[in-house]
Chains A and B, each alone.
Chain A
Amino acid sequence: MRNRMLFAFVAGTCLLSGPALAQTLRIALSSEPTAIDPHYHDLTPNNALAAHIFEGLTKQDEKQKLLPGLATSWENDGQNKWTFKLRPNVTFSDGKPFVAEDVIFTFCRTLKNETAIAGSFADITGNFAAVEAPDPQTLVITTKAPDPLLPNFLSSVGILSSSIVPHDKLTFDPAKNCGVTGNWPVVGDFNDGKLAIGTGPYKFKSYVRGTGIEIERNEKYWGPAEPWTSVRFIPVPNPGPRLAGLLAGDYDVVENPAARDLGRIKDDKRFSYVVTPSTRVIYFQLDVGREQSPFVKADNGKNPLQDPRVRKAMSLAIDRDAIVKRIMDGAAEPAYQFLPTGMFGTLPNPPALRYDPAEAKKLLSEAGYSKGFQVTLATTNDRYINDSQIAQAVAQYLTQVGIRADVDAMTRAIYFPRRSKKEFSVALGGWGSTSGEASSFLKQWPATPDEAKTIGGSNYGDYSDAEFDKLIRAAITTLDDAKRSELLQKAGARVLESNAFIPLHFESSVWAYKSNLAYTGRADQFTMAMSVKPKQ
C-alpha cells in the first residue's frame, strides 16, 4: 500500500514537473543569511551564500585548503609585497569583463561600507598600505604589517563589479573616495539583486526574507558549468520540520538535521547523509588570572583554577569518548588540540587526552584539594550543538572526582555579554577557524591582549604566558610557512600543557539528502549548491 502510494506520488510529481524542474535544487537551511551584500556581516550563512554569486581572489576547498580563485597565482617578496596574477577572460554575470580595477573597487568598498557589521573584512583591507594595478591582469598589494595569511583571508572577500557605481579612475585611496563619484552601495541595495553582480557559478534571482533565496546558473561562468539550472534555499530553522521536509520530498538537501534523528533515515534507501568533521572546537575556558573567581568556592579561600595540577585533574576527569558517543550521537570527534590534526600549524601527533579519574583524584589531593571545591560551569543553551547537555555531563564527571560542579545554562543573548565582562569562572566556548590554520584560535583566546585587541580579544580567563605570547606574536608575522608552522605547533603545545583551556571535541556537520545525489561536506560548515552533484 505504502509503496503504491509512493509510486503514485512520484509518478504524479514527474508528470507535473517534467525534466526542467528536476534540475532545480532545493536546500533547506538551518539559519538564513542576513543579507545578500557579501561584505555586510562575516557570518557562515552569509559567506556561504555569497560564495555562489561572488568569488574571492582565492578560494578554500572542502578541507579548507587554499586554491586559486579569481587569481591564478600569487607570490610574496618575503616582505609585505604580494603580487596576484588575475584570471584572464572572466566576465561578470552582466557581461562586463573582470579586471584589476574591480578588485581595487571592492577593497575600497570594504573600507567605505557604512552599513556593515564591524569586522566584516575591514580589518583585512585596513592593513593595506597600497593596492596597485600595473596592468589589468596584475594586482600588487603592499600591507602595513606582515600578513602571512593574506591569501587565506582574501578567499572570503567576494569581488564586486566596479560598474555598480559611477566612478572616475579607481585608485586605492580611501581618503579621496578611491575615485568613486556616486554613493557607496549600502546593504539594502543588494537585496533586490540590482547590485548583486559577481563572477560566481550562480547569479542572483530573488530574495524574500524568511521565505527563500533563489539563484540560477551563471551561463557566463569561467569554470565548468554547474548541473543545476536553479537553486532555491529555504530557511527552516527548526530541525524537526527540516527533516520532515526531506522525508516528504519538499527538499533535496537539508543542513544540520539533529544527529539523534538520523536513525529515521539510516535504513531508508531514498535518503543518505554525510557526517563531516568541522574545525569548530568546543572547550572550557578557565578563569586563571584572578586570585578570587566569582563562581569558585574553595575551603582555603583561594582560586584553585590557578593551580596547574587542578586544571590537569579537571581535564583527566572528563571522558571525551563517552560525550562524543552518548551526547553527540557520534557527530563529533574528540579534540586533543584546538584544530583537527593535519591542518596547518597543528601538532602532528597530539597525545590523547585520557580519561583517568584515579589520576585526577591524586592530582587534586596533591594540590591540597582532597575535599574538592565548588565550581559553576557556565554555558549557552542555544549556540553549540547540545551545549547545555555537554556542560551537564562534564559537571557530573567533575563531581565524580570530588569537584562539586553545577551548571548555569543561559541563552546566548545573555551568555556572551556576561562572558565578555568576565563574570564566569569556567565557561564553555566554541571556535571555528575561518582561515583553516592554527593561529586563528591561538591569537584570539590564549594570547595576552594588546592595546588594539587585534590579538587576545577573547582572553576572558586572563591566561598570560610570556613564552607563549612570544611564540604566537612571532608566528603571526612570519611569512615563511615552515617556520610559522613550527612556531604555531610550539605555541599550541604550551597552551595544551597549561590546561587553561580544556578542549572537548570538534563538532561535526551533518547534511542529509536524497540518495540520487552526491554530497561533499565541508569543514568550514558552508552549505553550498556546488557541493551537490547528481549521482553518477
Chain B
Amino acid sequence: MIAYVLQRLIQSILVLLAVSIVVFLAVYGIGDPIELLVPPQVSAAERAAMIRRLGLDLPVVQQYLMFLGNALKGDLGRSFVHGVPAVELILARLPATFELVLLAMSVAAAVGVPLGLLAGLNPESRSSRAIMAGTVLGFSLPSFWKGMMLVLLFSVALGWLPTAGRGETVSVLGIQTSLLTLDGLKHLILPALNLAIPNMALMIRLVAAGTSEAMSQDYVKYARAKGVRRKRIVGRHVLRNILVPVVTVAGMEFGSLVAFSTITETVFAWPGMGKLLIDSIYQLDRPVVVAYVLLATFLFVAVNFLVDILYAALDPRVKLIGEMA
C-alpha cells in the first residue's frame, strides 16, 4: 500500500511538471498580454516599466524557471489582470463550483442509477425504451441551448427560479456556501440541473448496459438457481459488479465538471472556476491560467487516486500494489 502511494506520488509530480511546461509555453505562445492590458495611449516609458514589473522582458526559459522557483515556495504568481495572487482568485471560486458540481452529480447518481437499473433489468418494457430514448436527448442537447431553455421556462415564463448568478451565501468554517440558504438553493437548481442532465444520461446508459450484461452472467444464473430472491441478486451481486465502471466515470466526470463546466457557468453567470479560466485565457492572464491548470491537474490526480481506492473497496480482486501493471 505504501509503495503504491509513493509510486503514485512520484507519478503525480512528474505529471504536474510536464503540464506546467506545456501550459506555460502554450499561453506564452498565444500572444503578448501587454497589448491587452495596457491601453495604447500609454507612453513608452510607462509601458516598459510595466513589462519589467511583470517579468515579461526576460527570455521565456528564465520566466519559466522563475515561475517554478516561486511555485516551489508555494507562490503561483499574481494575476496580471486583477493584481492579486492567482491562487487566491481560484480558491475564492472553488466553493461555488464545488457545491454546484456536488449537487449536479448527486442528482445525476440519485436519478441515473435507479433508472439505469430499471432499464437494464427489463430492456424490452415500454418504460425502459422511454428511458433509453430520453438519454439520447440528454446527451445530444447542447448545454448552452438547454441552459437557455431552462431559464426561459422556469424563470421567464413561470417565474419560479432566478435566471442567473449565485444567491445568498453563508460562511461555514470560513467557506462561503449557498447550499444552506433558501435563496442560494434557488439559484443553484437550474445550473445544477443543466450540469446533471448529460451525466444522468451517461449513468443510465452505463448502468443499463452493465445490468443487462451482468444478468446473463453465470453467477446470476447460479444465484437464481439457488433460489436467491431477485432483489438480493440485483442489490448484492449485480449492482456491486456494475458499480466499478460507474464510479470510474463518475469520478472523472466530477473532476472535469469542477475544472471545466464553463458553458453552464457562462449561461448562468455562475462565479465558478470554469468561467475564471475562460476569462483568463481571453485576457492572456498567464499566472491564473497556469495556476488553474496545475490545480485542476492536481484535482484529477487526487480523484483518480480516490477512485482506485474505491475500486479496491468495491472489488476484492483489485489489490493496490506498487508494481507497474
**Using Cβ atoms and an 8 Å threshold, which residues of chain B touch A41?**
37
Given A122-B46, A452-B44, answer yes or no on A236-B162 (Cβ-Cβ < 8 Å). no
B45: CB under 8 A from chain A? yes
B93 within 8 A of A: yes
CB within 8 Å for A249 and B282 given contacts A237-B266, A238-B267: no
Q: How far is the CA of A498 from the CA of B46 in the complex (A)?
A: 32
A 435-472 binary contact with B (CB < 8 Å = 1; else 0): 00000100010000001111001100000000000000
Stretch at the interface among B5-13, B80-88, B130-138: B80-88
Q: Which of B40, B42, B151, B283 interacts with A241 by CB under 8 Å? A: B151
B84 touches A457 (CB 8 A): no
- The answer to whether A241 touches B46 (Cβ under 8 A) is no
Shortest B53–chain A CB gap in Å is 8
In the complex the two chains form, is A236's CB within 8 Å of B83's CB? no
A35-B83, A250-B155, A413-B283 given; A241·B38 CB < 8 A: no
Task: Say whether B30 contacts A414, CB under 8 Å.
Answer: yes
Nearest B residue to A429 via CB reads B40
**Interface membership of chain A positions 402-435, coded 1 if the CB is closer than 8 angstroms to chain B and 0 otherwise:** 0000000001111011111000000000000000
Q: Which residue of B lies closest to A449 (CB)?
A: B44
The distance from the CB of A299 to the nearest CB of chain B, in whole angstroms, is: 34
A453 to B162: give the CA distance in the assembly, Å.
Answer: 49
Other-chain residue from A236, A245, A420 in contact with B35 (beta carbon distance below 8 A): A420
A208 contacts the other chain (CB 8 A): yes
By the criterion CB–CB under 8 Å, are B282 and A411 in contact?
yes
Once the chains are docked, how many angstroms separate the CA of A440 from the CA of B40? 11
A119 touches B162 (CB 8 A): no
- What sequence of 0s and 1s flags, for each residue 227-243 of chain A, a beta carbon within 8 Å of any chain B beta carbon? 00000001111101110
- Chain A neighbourhood of B163, CB < 8 A: 241, 244-245, 248, 250
Chain B interface size band reads: 35 or more
| Contact between chains at B159 and A5 (CB < 8 Å) | yes
A210-B93, A210-B275, A453-B43 as given contacts; A248 in contact with B31, CB under 8 Å: no
**Interface pair A117/B271, CB less than 8 Å apart:** no
Asked whether B111 is an interface residue with its Cβ less than 8 Å from the other chain, the reply is no
* Distance between B138 CB and nearest chain A CB, rounded to angstroms: 22
Instruction: Indicate whether A416 sits within 8 Å of B36 (C-beta atoms), given known contacts A208-B271, A237-B269, A248-B163.
Output: yes
Contact residue among B38, B44, B284 (Cβ-Cβ distance under 8 Å from A117): B38
Q: Which of A187, A418, A453 has the most CB of B within 10 A?
A: A453
**Which residues of B sit under 8 angstroms from A191, Cβ to Cβ?**
84
- Which of chain B's residues has its CB closest to A118's CB? B50
Interface string of A195-209 (1 = CB under 8 A from B): 000000000000011
Structural contact, A382 and B282, CB atoms closer than 8 A: yes
| Assembly CA distance A244 to B148 (angstroms) | 9
A115 in contact (CB, < 8 A): yes
Q: Is there a chain A Cβ closer than 8 Å to B41's Cβ?
A: yes
Residue of B whose beta carbon sits closest to that of A123: B43
Residue contact A119 to B156, C-beta cutoff 8 Å: no
- B288 CB to nearest A CB, Å: 12
Residue from B151, B163, B266, B283 whose CB has the most chain A CB atoms within 10 Å: B163
B89 within 8 A of partner (CB): yes
Task: Contact check, B82 vs A35: say whether CB atoms are below 8 A apart.
Answer: yes
**Cα of A278 to Cα of B195 in the assembled complex, Å:** 39
> Which chain A residue lies CB-closest to B148?
A240
Chain B neighbourhood of A458, CB < 8 A: 40-41
B50 cross-chain contacts in A, Cβ below 8 A: 117-118
Given A238-B267, A248-B156, A119-B41 contact (CB < 8 Å): yes
User: A159-189 interface mask toward B, CB cutoff 8 Å, 1 = contact, 0 = none?
Assistant: 0000000000000000000000000001110
Report the Cα distance A67→B34, complex, angstroms.
Answer: 34
**Contact between chains at A115 and B83 (CB < 8 Å):** yes
Contacts of A419 in B (CB 8 A): 35
- Output the nearest chain A residue to B267 by Cβ-Cβ distance: A241
Measured in the bound complex, the distance between the Cα atoms of B275 and A230 in whole Å is: 27
Q: Are A244 and B46 in contact (CB under 8 A)?
A: no
Kindly state whether residue B47 has any CB partner on chain A within 8 Å: yes
Tell me how far the C-beta of B179 lies from the nearest C-beta in chain A, rounded to whole angstroms. Answer: 15
Interface string of B246-267 (1 = CB under 8 A from A): 0000000000000000000011
Contact B164 A453 (CB under 8 A): no
Tell yes or no: B268 within 8 A of A by CB.
yes
* Residues of A321-358 whose CB lies within 8 A of B: none
- B272's nearest neighbour on chain A, judged by CB, is A210
Known: A210-B276, A413-B31. A241 touches B164 (CB 8 A): yes
Does residue B312 face the partner (Cβ distance < 8 Å to A)? Answer: no
A211 at the interface (CB under 8 A from B): yes
Chain B stretch 61-98: residues in CB contact (< 8 A) with chain A: 81-84, 89, 92-93, 96
Tell me if B123 is interfacial: C-beta within 8 Å of chain A.
no
CA distance A186 to B85 in the complex (A): 13
CA distance A457 to B82 in the complex (A): 25
**CA–CA, A211 to B164, complex, Å?**
10
Chain B, Cβ-Cβ closest to A37? B83
User: In this complex, which of B84, B147, B266, B268 has the most chain A Cβ atoms within 10 angstroms of its Cβ?
Assistant: B84
Interface pair A453/B44, CB less than 8 Å apart: yes
Please, which residue of chain B has its CB at the minimum distance from the CB of A26? B165
Please measure, in the bound complex, the distance between the C-alpha atom of A235 and the C-alpha atom of B164, giving whole angstroms.
10
Tell me how far the C-beta of B132 lies from the nearest C-beta in chain A, rounded to whole angstroms.
31
Asked whether, in the complex, the Cβ of B282 is within 8 Å of the Cβ of A119, the reply is no
* A234–B269 touching, CB < 8 Å: yes
Chain B window 47-67, contacts with chain A (Cβ cutoff 8 Å), 1 for yes, 0 for no:
101100100000000000000
Q: Let me know if A118 and B267 touch, CB within 8 A.
A: no
The answer, yes or no, to whether A247 is at the interface (CB within 8 Å) is: yes
B282/A247 in contact, CB under 8 A: no
A453–B213 alpha-carbon span in the complex (Å): 72
Complexed CA–CA distance, A54 and B264 (Å):
35
Return B102 CB to nearest CB of chain A, in Å: 18
A212 and B167 alpha carbons, distance in the complex (Å):
10
In the complex the two chains form, is A416's CB within 8 Å of B35's CB? yes
Min C-beta distance of A469 to chain B, whole Å: 17
Taking the complex as formed, is B315 at the interface, i.e. its CB lies under 8 A from any CB of chain A?
no
Q: How far, in whole Å, are A42 and B50 apart by their CA atoms in the complex?
A: 14
- Interface positions, chain A 7-45, Cβ under 8 Å from B, are 9, 34-35, 40-42
B313 interface residue per 8 A CB criterion: no
- B150 nearest CB across to chain A (Å): 10
CA of A420 to CA of B36, assembled, Å = 11
23 contacts between A and B (CB under 8 A): A114-B53, A118-B37, A118-B47, A123-B41, A187-B84, A191-B84, A209-B92, A211-B166, A234-B164, A236-B165, A240-B148, A241-B147, A241-B148, A241-B267, A244-B164, A245-B155, A247-B156, A248-B155, A250-B165, A413-B31, A413-B282, A417-B35, A417-B36
Residues of A within 8 A of B (CB): 5-6, 9, 34-35, 40-42, 114-119, 122-123, 126, 186-188, 191, 208-212, 234-238, 240-242, 244-245, 247-250, 382, 411-414, 416-420, 440, 444, 451-454, 457-458
The 6 tightest CB contacts between A and B, nearest first, are: A210-B271, A119-B42, A118-B50, A417-B31, A453-B44, A248-B155
Q: A244-B152, A457-B40 are in contact. List 13 more A-B contacts (CB 8 A).
A: A118-B47, A123-B42, A209-B82, A235-B269, A238-B266, A244-B156, A245-B162, A245-B163, A412-B282, A417-B34, A444-B41, A457-B42, A457-B43
